[in-house]
Amino acid sequence: MDTGDTNLSNSDNRSLSPSVTPIRTYLSVLDLTPDSLEACLGVAERLKQERRMGFSAPTTSALSGHSLALLFDKPSLRTRTGFEIAMRELGGTVTCPPSADALGTREELADVARTLERWVSVAAIRTFEQSRLYEFVKATTKLRIVNALTNEEHPCQALADCLTIKERCGSVQGQTLAYIGDGNNVATSLTHAASMLGLNLRLASPKDYSLPEESLAAARQAARHGAEILQFDDPVEAVRGADAVYTDVWTSMGQEVEASHRRDAFSGYRVTDSLMNEANPDAFFMHCLPAHRGEEVDPAVIDGARSAVFDQAENRLHTQKALLLMMLQKI
Ligand code: CP
Ligand code: NVA
C-alpha cells in the first residue's frame, strides 16, 4: 500500500509527517499552521479514496483504543454523525453524554473536562460562546478538544469546504470565492482557511452583518500566497470573477428571535440563478447546510447542476477523519 509521505497505517507510530505541527486543540482554523492545513486536506483526499476499500483500508484500526466524546449544546446532523462514522471507521469508539449532563448547570465545565480526560482522548464540543471552549481547554492538559461549532467559528466546516474547492478546481490557491450573506461563524472560519491557503475572498453582507473586524484582521495576518480579502455591499459586484459562490443561513442557531428582522435585512442577498450568472461561467454553489430554500438561496440554485453542497457534506466525514488522525498523531 502506498501511503506516501504521511503515516496512515494502523500501527502506533507517533512520528508525524514533517509538514504537520502537533496540536492539542482545534478551536479555530488558526490553530493549524498553513502546512498542517494543507497536509490535513491531502490526508482527507487519500482517506476518501481508500474508503472504497472498506475493511481493507489501511486505517481501519488506526484509532483503536481511542474514544471521542461528543458534547453538543445545539442540533447537528453532519458534524455529529460525521464524527461518529469517522471514529467507527478508524477503529475507535464514541460516547455522546446528554448535553444537559455535560454542558448544563449540573456541574462545572471544568469538572466535566477533568472527568472525561480520564476516559477519552478527544472531545468535540458544539456550544454557544467560544469562551466556553477556552474554559474547557484550561481545565485539562491531556484531552484533545475540537470546536464542533460555536457562535464565533466553525473550523470543521472550513476543512470540508476547502477540500471541495480543491477537488473541483484542482487547487485552492489562486481561486476566487464569493461569500454572500451573514458574516457569521461559517464565514469566519472560511476566511481564516482561505487566507492561509491563498484563496481570494469577496465578501458581501448587509450593513451591520459583515464579518467581525477581528476575524478579518486575523485572516489578513495569516494570509499566504497573496490571498486577497475584499468586502462589498453589492452581491453582484462580489460574485464577479468568482469561481464559487457560498452562502449560509441568515439566522444561525441561537438567533431565532431575530429571524424576522434578519429576513428583512438580508432580502437583497439571496443567491439566485441570476446572481450565479454574474460569476464565472463554471462557478459552482456552496452551502454548509442546513439550508432554507427561498431565503438565502433559491431552490433552482441549491438543487441545480451547479450545486456542490452534498460534496461539501460528504467531505465533512473525510476531513474530520483526517483531523482526528492528525490530533492523535497518526499522520
Ligand atoms: N454544516 C453543519 O455543521 O451541519 P450540522 O449542523 O448538521 O452539523
Ligand atoms: N451559521 C449556522 C451554521 C450551521 C451549520 C449556525 O450557526 O446555525
* pLDDT tens column, 240-282: 999 999 999 999 999 999 999 999 999 999 999 999 999 999 9
Contacts with 96 (C-beta within 8 Å, 6 or more apart), sequence order:
69, 70, 72, 80, 84
Domain assignment of residue 88, yes or no:
yes
Q: Is 59 left (phi over 0), alpha (psi -120 to 50) or beta?
A: alpha
Are residue 178 and residue 300 in the same domain, yes or no? yes
Q: Do residues 50 and 145 both lie within one domain?
A: yes
Amino acid at 26: Y
Q: pLDDT category, 9, cuts 50, 70, 90?
A: very low
**3 lies in some domain:** no
Q: Do 238 and 320 have their domain in common? A: no
- Cα radius of gyration (the chain): 19
The pLDDT > 90 percentage for the chain reads 92
Residue pair 212/151 in contact (Cβ under 8 Å)? The answer is: no
Q: Which one is catalytic: 46, 66, 126, 202? A: 126
φ, ψ dihedrals at 228, nearest 5°: -110, 140
Mean of pLDDT values over 96-108: 92
90 found inside a domain: yes
* 150 Cα–ligand 2 center, Å: 9
Do 272 and 286 lie in one domain? The reply is yes
What's residue 16's pLDDT?
61
Q: What is the model's pLDDT at position 153? A: 98
Asked if residue 94 and residue 163 are part of one domain, the reply reads no
For atom 7 of ligand 2, the residue with the nearest CA is 252
- Assign residue 303 the CATH number of its domain: 3.40.50.1370
pLDDT at 331: 85
Residues 183 and 126 in one domain: no
Residue 146 has pLDDT above 90, yes or no: yes
Looking at the structure, do residues 245 and 219 belong to the same domain, yes or no? yes
Nearest C-alpha neighbor of 229 from the set 193, 254, 261, 185:
193
Ligand 2 closest atom vs CA 186: 1
Residue 329 alpha carbon to ligand 2 centre in Å: 29
Residues 61 and 78 both lie in one domain = yes
pLDDT number for residue 104: 86
Is 110 within a domain? yes
Residue 304: per-residue pLDDT: 98
Cis before 75? omega within 30? no
Least confident range of 15-19, 103-107, 244-248? 15-19
Residues 48 and 137 reside in one and the same domain:
yes
pLDDT for 164 beyond 80: yes
- What is the amino acid identity at position 165? I
Residue 4 lies in a domain: no
- The Cα 254–Cα 274 span in angstroms is 31
Percent of the chain past pLDDT 70, that is, above it, reads 95
Centroid of ligand 1 to alpha carbon of 188 (angstroms): 15
Residues within 6 Å of ligand 1 by CB: 76-79, 149, 157, 288-289
Residue 19: its pLDDT value, please?
Answer: 85
300 and 320 part of one domain: no
Annotated catalytic residue within 262, 287, 316, 318: 316
Evaluate: CB of 186 within 6 angstroms of ligand 2.
yes
CB atoms within 10 A of CB 100: 10
Determine, yes or no, domain membership for 2.
no
Q: How many domains does the chain have?
A: 2
Catalytic residue chosen out of the listed positions 46, 202, 288, 320: 288
96 is catalytic: no
Q: Which domain holds residue 25?
A: 11-153+315-327
Helical residues (DSSP H) of the chain, grouped into ranges: 34-50, 78-89, 99-102, 109-116, 130-139, 155-169, 185-197, 213-222, 235-239, 259-265, 273-276, 299-302, 309-327
Average pLDDT over residues 208-221: 97
Based on the domain organization, do 183 and 204 belong to the same domain? yes
Are 176 and 305 contained in the same domain? yes
Looking at the DSSP assignment, which residues form a beta bridge with residue 68? 94, 122
Q: Is the CB of 184 under 6 A from ligand 2?
A: yes
What CA–CA distance (Å, rounded) separates 121 from 143? 6
pLDDT recorded at residue 18: 75
DSSP string for 197-265: HT-EEEEE--TT-SPPHHHHHHHHHH--TT--EEEES-HHHHHTT-SEEEE--SS-TT-GGGHHHHHHH
So what's the pLDDT on residue 11?
42
Q: Is residue 195 part of a domain?
A: yes
Candidates 27, 17, 106, 45; CA nearest to 322 is 45
Catalytic residue among 182, 243, 248, 298: 248
Is-catalytic flag, 126?
yes
Which residues lie closer than 8 Å to 299 by C-beta, 6 or more apart?
293
Residue 264 inside a domain? The answer is yes
pLDDT, greater one: 84 or 17: 84
